[in-house]
Chain A
Amino acid sequence: MPIIELHWIDYAILLTYFAFVLGIGFALRRSMNSAEEYLMSGRSIPAWIAGLAFLSANLGAQEVMGMAASGAKYGIATSHFYWAGAVPAMVFVGVFMMPFYYGSRARSAPEYLKLRFDEKTRAFNALTFAGMTVMSSGISLYAMGLLLSSLFGWNFDAAIALAAMIVLVYILLGGLTSAIYNEVLQFFLICAGFLPLVLVGLERVGGWSQLVVRLEEVARSRGYVAGAYTQAWAQMSSPQANPMGIEWFGMAMGLGFVLSFGYWCTDFLVVQRAMAADSMLSARRTPLIAAIPKMLFPALVILPGMIALAISATPGELFTLPLKADGSVNYDMTIPLMLQAFFPPGMLGLGLTALMASFMSGMAGNVTAFNTVWTYDIYQAYLKPNQTDGHYLNVGRLTTVFGILASWGAAYAAMKFNNIMDLLQLVFAFVNAPLFATFLLGMFWARTTGHGAFWGLLSGTVGAAVHHGLSLPAGAVAGLKGGWLGAVTSYPSEMAQNFWTAIWAFAVCLTVTVGISLVTRAKPARELEGLVYAYTKMPEGDASLPWHQRPGTLGLLILGAVLALNLLFW
């Protein structure tokens, strides 16, 4: 792929964005006087800001680049990540789970586990989460460096150093509030940068109707029925009928329930944004507000991939998706190719800035979640308890520096893997899927015990490893992609294998947790107030709100809208 020459006006747009990002950090630095303000925003963020940050913290490299890549690889079935997965999960966490997170006054998800269960369950979650955030942040940084060096000819080391320094400065100065404010800024920038890409792409292929016609031809030429790339559910009768290689049960259970609910309901990276809200009502509305733009995001991040597939498959068109060294298609280059093909100088600067914003928001989200969990759940809990607030504020700042440096190191470590995105999805199946079973039982079944939760969590993770070790995606060799215990079963794609790994991890965790809980002693009811559904007074006052402000009503409306989208693109 040829190097793209940037015009000075492109750099001017990028520098303008950097100036605003750093300006927020400097503006907020004087109001960061306590550990709670620095690590938890002092619980003062309005619902609409927390909602957009909740959405934007997830808009990292994997989301923007990965979803476009999946759109090109799997077609509209990728929208299940939103319409069957994220949106219902966001409604669930807003309506049912947030009262426990916010109401328990826990400062983090691991701390909730301590209050609900015991120290060992908290420690297990805090350590796995801290490792996962550093790795995710490093992968985001690595992907950005790789993209900027291959697309614009920038020096790889300089590109990741620049992005890491900017994120470090604004988090160091303004803490979680600065990260949240910048995430909202990044949300608008990502929309402003990618929406014209979709419009230009659609114009190029002749509109939606022509895109469908072109993708039907692509589907037929690859041995599928016509709607394989343009119908979300109709081709889910068997794994062989769609490019994703998954049937409706694996999709609904693996992605729709376990992986999506596991991520959106338990991952502290996103839950932290809602916990920073200024009231219980704002905290409950945070995921619901986020769900509204989220259900429209397939048009912004998946549609470009479908357009790229249609263009790439037409001889003589603007571009062809490049091949990797092993001969497989490099879907990750979908967005860079489209930027190059469709944007003139000026808009190219905006597109590049939007990409930088997505990488930096993903990184900042991970670093702020990491410094809260490290400071409260590891340092304060096990290393130096009973210190002054000022001490923990300084530790929080130092942890920010350490988190950035560790991410920087992880970025270089990620270079050693040949397929980091598959690896990351796998880590989610290992960590988030069993954790969702633990939270689900912990919040809604009072009989669940600390021993049950800990051993269930551990067994679920081992269960995921065993399933991964015994299965292999089609065409892969035993090793990082599975089969390292012996390939007993195979799946048509890595995605299908990940969904089933998540299902196994969830099922094993659920079964072991229930089994051990039944033979061990549960906490008395008085210790479970505010932590378990049966012993928690749900927030009062919903009935006095106008109907459109009630979380339950808003949730139902969102579910209705997402159901309509599923039916529209069935």
Chain B
Amino acid sequence: MDLRLIIGRMLLAIGLLLVAATKLAPQTVRTQLYGMNLNFAWGVLLVVAGTLFLFTARRK
């Protein structure tokens, strides 16, 4: 079992949930970071990280 597949899937799933939270969760004063939506920015970062893990796992 290649652990990178599991790490990649988990980061991807959580990242997508955070991106979804941009629209689905209530907006609060705590939502912004350096002018960006925190859920969206961090969600995209996790999606990218998750995809990289999946990519490296599948290449092997």
Q: Which residues of A contact B (CB under 8 A)?
A: 7, 9, 12-13, 16-17, 20, 23-24, 27-28, 49, 181, 184-185, 188-189, 192, 196, 199-200, 203, 341-347, 349-350, 353
Additional A-B contacts beyond A28-B1, A344-B25, A345-B25 (17; CB < 8 A):
A7-B21, A7-B25, A9-B24, A12-B17, A13-B17, A181-B6, A185-B10, A189-B14, A192-B11, A196-B33, A196-B38, A342-B30, A344-B39, A346-B21, A346-B22, A346-B25, A347-B21
In the complex, what's the smallest C-beta–C-beta distance from B20 to chain A, in angstroms? 7
Interface centre among A342, A344, A345 (most CB of B within 10 A): A344
A20 touches B33 (CB 8 A): no
Q: A20-B9, A185-B7 are in contact. Are A9 and B38 (CB under 8 A)?
A: no
Say whether, besides A7-B26, A181-B6, A196 and B42 are in contact (CB < 8 Å): yes
Q: Known contacts A9-B20, A16-B14, A347-B18; decide if A203 and B33 are in contact (CB<8 Å).
A: yes
B34 cross-chain contacts in A, Cβ below 8 A? 203
Task: Give min CB distance, A540 to chain B, whole Å.
Answer: 29
Is the CB–CB distance between B13 and A188 below 8 Å? no
B42 partner residues in chain A, CB cutoff 8 A: 192, 196, 347, 350
Contact of B38 among A16, A181, A200 (CB under 8 A): A200
Which residues of B sit under 8 angstroms from A343, Cβ to Cβ? 30, 38
Between A16, A20, A350, the greatest number of chain B beta carbons within 10 A of the residue's beta carbon is seen for A350
- Which applies to chain A's interface (DSSP): helix, strand, loop or mixed? helix
Check if A49 sits within 8 Å of B38, measured CB to CB. Answer: no
How far, in angstroms, from A13 to B33 measured CA to CA in the complex? 21
Residue in A23, A28, A188, A344 whose CB lies within 8 Å of B31: A344
Task: Please name all residues of chain B whose beta carbon is closer than 8 Å to the beta carbon of A28 when the two chains form the complex.
Answer: 1
- Chain A: which residue is nearest B37 at the CB level? A344
- A345, B21: Cβ atoms closer than 8 Å: yes
Q: Can you list 29 A-B pairs, Cβ within 8 angstroms, ordered by A?
A: A9-B20, A9-B21, A17-B10, A17-B14, A20-B6, A20-B9, A20-B13, A24-B6, A27-B1, A181-B3, A184-B3, A185-B3, A185-B6, A185-B10, A188-B10, A192-B11, A192-B14, A196-B42, A203-B33, A341-B30, A343-B30, A345-B25, A345-B26, A346-B18, A346-B38, A346-B39, A347-B18, A349-B21, A350-B14
| A344-B31, A346-B25 known; A16-B13 Cβ under 8 A | yes
Residues of A within 8 A of B14 (CB): 13, 16-17, 189, 192, 350, 353
Residues of B within 8 A of A350 (CB): 14, 18, 42
The answer to whether B1 touches A344 (Cβ under 8 A) is: no
A49 to B43 alpha-carbon distance, docked (Å): 25
* A344 in contact with B11 given A9-B20, A13-B17, A49-B3 (CB within 8 Å): no
What is the bound-complex CA distance between A9 and B17, given in angstroms?
Answer: 7
